[in-house]
Chains A and B, each alone.
Chain A
């Protein structure tokens, strides 16, 4: 398949754009694969791509029950940042951000990554101190960060509520300039196309319905498109992890599935040139403006466990109130769409990229609210784990057994209650 370039755009333009080849193949399933990745979302596709590119693995399949990018890849607010503090998370998310910075070139596909700054609003000096610590740790470990006083914030984002009677008076902001946003569909399609070019079979409408096990190995997967024999199997299915886990005949996991809503408004002229995040007490929202002009925003979970990909009204109110308390100018803007994704909320708010009790099964799960930004590094480290059958030092504590060892990677300090992590 041809590389995309300025020349290919020009040439295809001359022929009325009728000569474009399809972006990836639609192959028939083979009987045997060396590696089968279950889940054709961003993490699964990225894993297949890095397995083929970094580890020269062949005979790889990604099986997806629906269509590519139809799950949480298309149900998020596309925020990219690396403002994590704890060991393991810090290196992991910084690596992810670095992969984002070169992703369009690497994939030969424009993922529209826009480093427009991630701005966390501050409301009092105490909060500023906490964030100064966190953002200084970021600087000391090779990332970028800034603290803005109120005057700088006013200059950068003039539309916030700075009035004397503001519901949440502003104090300043903690900022990561290299943070930003990307186009979610393009990331799924870019990884799919790049993986396909390296020989990965992407099997859509291929739902896993069962596993055949021999002792502690999975020998084959039953799917709606036939039986696939697999040398190694990787799960990257976010909110459906527990379902597959029990289908494979295993017990309980430190994961609960909750739903998280997100929203997009009618398109507006350019208004917000940053990703703005606001959190005070129980109120949370994060807002950015898409290239089409819609205000893309989200907030907290619906607060009860759910596998339903649909949101509930009280949370629509809560998030709308949070957004309009920060940006009163948006109060009369109409919502265009809202959607919900099923989040794999973990017991400490951090992820799992690890081996499992089965010798040829590997797990990628527990992404909480933050799976989108993680997807490049998630694929990178998951591929490294599958290819080498040992965890990289960066993710050595991101395993299912960490709680037993007393290692809790809890950025928020919320304790073992999955709904409280974000």
Chain B
């Protein structure tokens, strides 16, 4: 079992997640020429080693994550939200609800509370 340290939910089994794919792909503009779209859709580096990839925490917070994982040893070196602004968005939601801030715990370095509540809400122990 691969353990993924979700920045929102803590350490969870990979069975809670759905694998997205290669996270290094940059999709071109909609009106970009065919060659760019061909390359983005069909060509892969297929790295044997540390790779940037996307995972979706389907049975957790439902956030998309960017994970750096070794495709040979399966070791994970970093996990961060795929949407950089998600911390800010959650902060404002928490402020509206009279809570604290969230962004300090959501960054490039993962935090792991090990909280296993399975709730899609922000766990209480993440509030400062």
State the A residues within 8 Å of B (CB). 242-243, 251-257, 303-308, 312-314, 347, 403-404, 416-419
Is B41 part of the binding interface, using a Cβ–Cβ cutoff of 8 Å? yes
Instruction: Please name all residues of chain B whose beta carbon is closer than 8 Å to the beta carbon of A417 when the two chains form the complex.
Output: 21
Whether A416 lies near B41 (C-beta < 8 A) is: yes
Q: How far does the alpha carbon of A315 sit from the alpha carbon of B7 in the complex, in Å?
A: 25
A340 CB to nearest chain B CB (Å): 12
Q: How far does the alpha carbon of A403 sit from the alpha carbon of B14 in the complex, in Å?
A: 32
State the B residues within 8 Å of A (CB). 1-2, 13-15, 18-19, 21-22, 34-35, 38-39, 41-48, 51, 53, 69, 71-74
A240 CB to nearest chain B CB (Å): 8
Instruction: Please name all residues of chain B whose beta carbon is closer than 8 Å to the beta carbon of A419 when the two chains form the complex.
Output: 19, 21
Q: How far does the alpha carbon of A182 sit from the alpha carbon of B48 in the complex, in Å?
A: 32
Q: Which 10 A-B pairs have the closest CB atoms?
A: A242-B46, A252-B43, A304-B19, A314-B15, A403-B42, A254-B42, A307-B48, A307-B72, A416-B41, A347-B42
B21 CB to nearest chain A CB (Å): 7
B69 CB to nearest chain A CB (Å): 8
Q: A313-B1, A403-B38 are in contact. Are A307 and B71 (CB under 8 A)?
A: yes
Query: Which of B22, B43, B73 is the one whose CB lies under 8 Å from A251?
Result: B43
Q: Given known contacts A243-B48, A312-B14, what 16 new A-B pairs fall within 8 Å (CB)?
A: A242-B45, A242-B48, A253-B44, A255-B44, A256-B46, A303-B18, A304-B14, A304-B69, A306-B74, A308-B73, A314-B13, A404-B38, A416-B41, A417-B21, A419-B19, A419-B21
Instruction: Please name all residues of chain A whose beta carbon is closer than 8 Å to the beta carbon of B45 when the two chains form the complex.
Output: 242, 252
Q: Can you report 18 residue pairs joining A to B where beta carbons are below 8 Å apart? A: A242-B44, A242-B45, A242-B48, A252-B39, A253-B44, A256-B46, A257-B71, A304-B2, A304-B69, A305-B51, A306-B71, A306-B72, A307-B72, A308-B73, A312-B2, A416-B42, A418-B44, A419-B21
Instruction: Please name all residues of chain A whose beta carbon is closer than 8 Å to the beta carbon of B21 when the two chains form the complex.
Output: 305, 417, 419
Give how many A-B residue pairs fall within 8 Å (CB-CB): 72
Q: How far does the alpha carbon of A404 sit from the alpha carbon of B41 in the complex, in Å?
A: 11
Whether A303 lies near B19 (C-beta < 8 A) is: yes
Whether B1 lies near A314 (C-beta < 8 A) is: yes
Query: Which of A257, A303, A313 is the one whose CB lies under 8 Å from B46?
Result: A257
Instruction: Please name all residues of chain B whose beta carbon is closer than 8 Å to the beta carbon of A314 when the two chains form the complex.
Output: 1, 13-15
B68 CB to nearest chain A CB (Å): 13
Chain A minimum-CB-distance residue to B2:
A312
Instruction: Please name all residues of chain B whose beta carbon is closer than 8 Å to the beta carbon of A303 when the two chains form the complex.
Output: 18-19
Most buried by A among B13, B45, B48, B73: B48
Q: How far does the alpha carbon of A417 sit from the alpha carbon of B48 in the complex, in Å?
A: 18
Q: How far does the alpha carbon of A308 sit from the alpha carbon of B72 in the complex, in Å?
A: 5
Instruction: Please name all residues of chain A whose beta carbon is closer than 8 Å to the beta carbon of B14 when the two chains form the complex.
Output: 304, 312, 314
Q: How far does the alpha carbon of A71 sit from the alpha carbon of B127 in the complex, in Å?
A: 50
Chain B minimum-CB-distance residue to A301:
B19
B39 CB to nearest chain A CB (Å): 8
Query: Which of A243, A256, A313, A403 is the one whose CB lies under 8 Å from B44?
Result: A256
Chain B minimum-CB-distance residue to A408:
B42
Q: How far does the alpha carbon of A312 sit from the alpha carbon of B74 in the complex, in Å?
A: 11
Query: Which of A253, A305, A403 is the one whose CB lies under 8 Å from B71?
Result: A305
Instruction: Please name all residues of chain B whose beta carbon is closer than 8 Å to the beta carbon of A256 when the two chains form the complex.
Output: 22, 44, 46
Q: How far does the alpha carbon of A160 sit from the alpha carbon of B74 in the complex, in Å?
A: 37
Instruction: Please name all residues of chain B whose beta carbon is closer than 8 Å to the beta carbon of A416 when the two chains form the complex.
Output: 41-42
Q: How far does the alpha carbon of A255 sit from the alpha carbon of B46 in the complex, in Å?
A: 7
Instruction: Please name all residues of chain B whose beta carbon is closer than 8 Å to the beta carbon of A243 when the two chains form the complex.
Output: 48
Instruction: Please name all residues of chain B whose beta carbon is closer than 8 Å to the beta carbon of A308 when the two chains form the complex.
Output: 71-74
Q: How far does the alpha carbon of A418 sit from the alpha carbon of B43 in the complex, in Å?
A: 11
